[in-house]
Amino acid sequence: MNGALAPSYRPRPAVMGIVNVTPDSFSDGGRYVDTQDAIDHGRELFAQGAAIVDVGGESTRPGARTVPDDEEERRVLPVVEALAEVGVVSIDTRKEAVARSALAHGATIVNDVSASLGRVAAEFGAGWVAMHAQGDPTTMQRAPHYTDVVDEVYRFLEACREDAQTFGVRELYLDPGIGFGKSIDHNLELLRHLVRFGDLGAPVLVGISRKSFLAGLSRLNRIEDPGQREEESLAANIWALTHGASAVRVHEVTPVMEYLKLMDAMEFARQDNE
């Protein structure tokens, strides 16, 4: 592994806050379509402790339709530019043109559900989140199938790591793609073996916040309103952070930050008593 890909682990796991500048995202679609509302929300996420704010202008929920490049850029570029003055901004896109425009406007990470934009990230000296997905948003949840989901996702991300080395990517995160072409059992199997992905030598990012399979596991079965899945989301994020994840992508930053602060306090107390 070359020096450009030395894992950039932070003193504590990184929390990536979500700003969806979309009318149709599965959880908060329409809530931040106004540019100023999106900027204000991103600033609030930074104030709550987010290390990264992830700005997206196209929904990748199951069944979502593709947004034209110019419309996606119209949605995200002013938000990216404003938030880049506050902290680290990632652009959540599958499109090369949108990634290039966002990087030119201040984004420093490409959050790439297509795992196809590593060369662009390297060209701009940006970080790259390479995610596994089976199919695309229009088809991915129709009938996901694997012989061995953990091994197949591992091999895919291993290839992404090799691509990142070839391209000279500055900072790499690997994302197993929870909910992207996976059944409930596939998601659970990936989470159960999450620590294995750390063997790839790069930080592992998990995006699990408010996803529908969490509601199916809860006795409350809160499927209809994703915004009501915060308890399930926090439990899943705690699991991920204690089983190999170096970063989590969340809608609500504060609960995860409070958990991390508590863990820090407990660790310091333990060290003082040794």
State the catalytic residues: 211, 249
Angle in degrees, CA 51, 196, 260, rounded to 5: 30
- The residues near 54 (Cβ < 8 Å, ≥ 6 apart) are 16, 17, 18, 19, 89, 90, 91, 92, 111, 249
131 bridge partner residues = 175
Closest residue by Cα to residue 115 from 197, 186, 172, 75:
172
CA distance 45 to 16: 9
Q: Strand 127-131 to strand 52-56: parallel, antiparallel, or no bridges (unpaired)?
A: unpaired
Helix (H) or strand (E) holding 195: helix 194-197
DSSP designation for 223: -
Answer for the pair 98, 70: CB distance below 8 angstroms, yes or no: no
